[in-house]
Amino acid sequence: MKKAKEMPQTRINKQRLRSTFEELVTIDSPSRHEGRVARYIESIFREELEASTHTDNSTGETGSDTGNLLVRLSGDPSRPPIFFNAHLDTVEPGMGIRPVFDGEAFRSSGDTILGADDKAAVAILIEVSRILRECNMNNPPLELVFTVCEEIGLLGAKALDTSRLESKAGYSLDSTDPDILFSQAPAAIRFRVNIKGRAAHAGINPEHGISAIRVAATAISMVPQGRIDHETTANIGIIHGGNATNIIPEDCTVEGEVRSHNEQSLKRIQDEILAGFHKATNQYKTENRWNNTPCPPFIQSLVENDYPLMSIPKEHPVIVTACNAARNLGRNLQVDRTGGGSDANILNGKGIATAILGIGMQRVHTTEEFIRLEDMIASAELVLEIIRCWK
């Protein structure tokens, strides 16, 4: 009979993990204001855990009041280093968070988000680091990357100088189910279309005007949106324009995004959306001239790459190690793909293989956000076992 693999003897300190998380979420850290929480985290690693820390000079690119925080914990130099990533910023409403623990799960008091996205990940990495020190585990060298401004465009990760990292692979803790690992995530673009119509008095001579909002509405009704196929989504999320109800609106701006696991589909839907705006504009053009200039409406479009495609082969060590670690814990880790973007997209794009681990956060970006302590513990256990198995 085959002998079962001996389980690690490390145990998560449940009360300490809870206290760390509660302390973290009460420190306000909306995007671009992560300085206080970064200093709190740095003090734990430098003063308590005697780790080396470094804050980069990315503030000029992100606009944050602090840079990304890199923490290094020493380990067996004969083993390859590994890194873990979490982000420090939270979405709004995220000021004055008061966590409530009901004996099973954390919630906010109801008028703010909770901030489990992504401070539960930070708390988990702090607890894991404490256990490594207390148990004197033979761990590989560890690097912890705490980024800023993730919620407003992954700005911290984009500004991160990955040449400072010794690790070539690792994990981002920024998802829901602790028994799911994401190895694939879509690429995404953002687009902005500015429409120029012609102003006129809406009551006296509306026939002289061309409504930029009407042109936008026509275009929006024509272009692909929602779930396009099993790989691709598109959304128009922002529209603004006009100055007063008695003026035919001369200006309108529309903003949106396209995401896809297929880069050809991404480009195709992007082109279809822009073509729709051009087609709508042409419907409202006339042969008339106004003040001896070409007749509006006109459009101006801008497309920006938001983040690159992420796709890690199933045989890569970050996938194999995580699955083996889960089995050692008696768990089945499901490898899947996500429709969201995260720091992992950027890190993969910079040549650092990064899979996404779940931590249990639910209903994120809402005032109904919650997280179960047991899910945080399960995530911490998996991180510890990944570290133990890494080679």
Catalytic residues: 89, 150
Q: Evaluate whether 188 touches 256 at the Cβ level (below 8 Å).
A: no
Neighbours of 356 (CB within 10 A): 26
Checking DSSP bridges between strand 169-173 and strand 353-357, what pairing results, if any?
A: parallel
Q: Evaluate whether 29 touches 36 at the Cβ level (below 8 Å).
A: yes
Checking DSSP bridges between strand 142-147 and strand 353-357, what pairing results, if any?
A: unpaired
For residue 272, report the phi and psi dihedrals to the nearest 5 degrees. Answer: -65, -40
Q: Evaluate whether 54 touches 164 at the Cβ level (below 8 Å).
A: yes
Q: Evaluate whether 265 touches 228 at the Cβ level (below 8 Å).
A: yes
Q: Evaluate whether 152 touches 331 at the Cβ level (below 8 Å).
A: no
Neighbours of 315 (CB within 10 A): 7
- Identify the CA nearest to 18 among candidates 112, 130, 132, 99: 99
Q: Evaluate whether 14 touches 22 at the Cβ level (below 8 Å).
A: no
Give the Cα separation of 223 and 279 in Å (integer): 10
Phi-psi region of 341 (alpha: psi -120 to 50; beta: other; left: phi over 0): beta
Bridge partners, 79 (sequence order): none
Q: Evaluate whether 80 touches 168 at the Cβ level (below 8 Å).
A: yes
Q: Which two tokens stand for residue 23?
A: 């302390």
Helical (H) or strand (E) element with 318:
helix 317-328
Q: What is the CA radius of gyration of the chain?
A: 25
Q: Which two tokens stand for residue 344?
A: 């992992």
